[in-house]
Homo-oligomer: A and B are copies of this chain.
Amino acid sequence: MTEPAVVADLTALLPAGAVTVDPEVMAAFSRDHSERPLPGMPLALVRPASTADVQAVLRVASTHTIPVVVRGAGSGLSGGSTAVDGCLILSVDRMREVRVDAAARVVHAQPGALNAEVKAAAAAQGLWYPPDPASYEFCSIGGNVATNAGGLCCVKYGVTTDYVLGMTVVLADGRALTLGGDRVKDAAGLSLTKLFVGSEGTLGVITEVTLRLIPAPERPASLVATFAEVDAAVQAVLQISASLRPAMLEFMDRTTIGAVEDLTHMGLDRDAAAMLIVQSDAPGDQAAAELNRIERICLDAGATECVLTDDPDDGEAFVAARRMAVPAVEMKGSMLLEDAGVALPRLGDLVRGIQRISSDRGVVIALIAHAGDGNTHPMLVFDRADPDSFARAQQAFDDIMALTISLGGTISGEHGIGRLKQPWLERQLGQDAMALTQTIKAALDPRGILNPGVIVR
């Protein structure tokens, strides 16, 4: 079948307006927020409205062995939804229904719904969907599930997979499966639901998810601690984690603090080497009690200043500073964003190693971290107009991945591997785990049409 015939076929099968070949429209759907790789030229953009539509697309793609690149909101950071030549971009942006079942404490969501829309629907019923990527206002829940996304509250409340109870997923050949369901516990059969979480569109296309909700906790109290030495801040993180369970434990380094202050003029201490932003949502006066203990730990570790507030709005301002970190650093130049995670005792080694790489490669690296989880986000700043600057940033990016693997860590804590980090994955997993990955991929997608180049080559 010729390419135009495939497009005609899809156009006939799908609702009006669901298939586009306009190059400008396709270009807008051809990449995510990552710098690399550059997108290829898609065959068409398809925007299904239902599971049945997705099945129709995959039947056509399977019959003609056409690659399918699934896309949520395009906020990914690893090139997981970057178009490849001749692919169908399958965008789920028209599948945005969200339905809360308060009695069952679950939400059923289509994949194109934004994380914030899921949170809002839950909140309207006094319930809470915890996972909160910094991008929660513009990332899709389907993308969250596909990458096993994390966020700021994960240190206490866990990551996306901990909330996925079930899903509808369309396999490469177009069959739609319903996995799991409304029940909170399920030990019947293989953990198929969990296998699809984090599979980044390589094993199937998720068309609906069932997510566990919990009663909303109280609004948190907050603490900001400032340190003159990065090591002292890291020591405080280890001490806090040993005995307490804060609802947030975030780290920002001096470069990041300066960039945020440049943007917001909120009065952050530019001289500080590091800042921790900590929240407690313990009930009643226990939040203040928990933060008092954390303040004591920070001061003992060498904090120069601690500011504690039980006013939720004041606390939200601190968190907003943290959420502004990426846009603020992006004002300084173009950015490569990493997602390196290590066991907590290795956090200091990772942070010091990143500082060394910054100095060795002559690359500005601003560092933020979900510190309580050992999950760092080095932000490498470069000048797009200067090929040498870009090359040095790319070298530093690879250096950080090599360092992370050498520390027994992971090159992705929450963003996924995508196409950007695929060449590095085997170095982390080892040959045998990579072979097993390929075995599973081949079993579920024998023609290799689902998001080729992601996770496996």
Residues in chain A within 8 A of chain B (CB atoms): 101-106, 126, 147-150, 154, 158-159, 161-162, 171, 175-179, 181-192, 194-195, 197-199, 202-203, 214-215, 238, 241-245, 282-286, 289-290, 339, 341-345, 370, 373-375, 408-417, 421, 425, 428-430, 432-434, 436-437, 439-444, 455
Contact = CB atoms under 8 A, between A and B. Distances in A.
Nearest to A184: B373
- Across chains A and B, which 10 residue pairs bring their CB atoms closest together, nearest first? A182-B343, A194-B194, A443-B443, A185-B413, A103-B345, A104-B343, A188-B412, A187-B412, A283-B286, A186-B410
A441 to B, nearest CB: 8
A288 to B, nearest CB: 11
A227 B189 CA distance: 36
A191 B198 contact: yes
Nearest to A283: B286
Contact of A190 (B187, B199, B238): B199
A198 B191 CA distance: 6
Contact of A244 (B162, B215, B437): B215
A429 B286 contact: no
* A189, A290, A343 — most chain B CB neighbours (10 Å): A189
A104 B344 contact: yes
A187 B408 contact: no
Contacts of A434: 189
A191 B106 contact: no
A194 B158 CA distance: 15
Given A158-B162, A192-B436, 12 more contacts: A171-B436, A175-B432, A177-B432, A184-B375, A185-B374, A186-B410, A188-B416, A188-B421, A189-B429, A189-B434, A190-B437, A214-B245
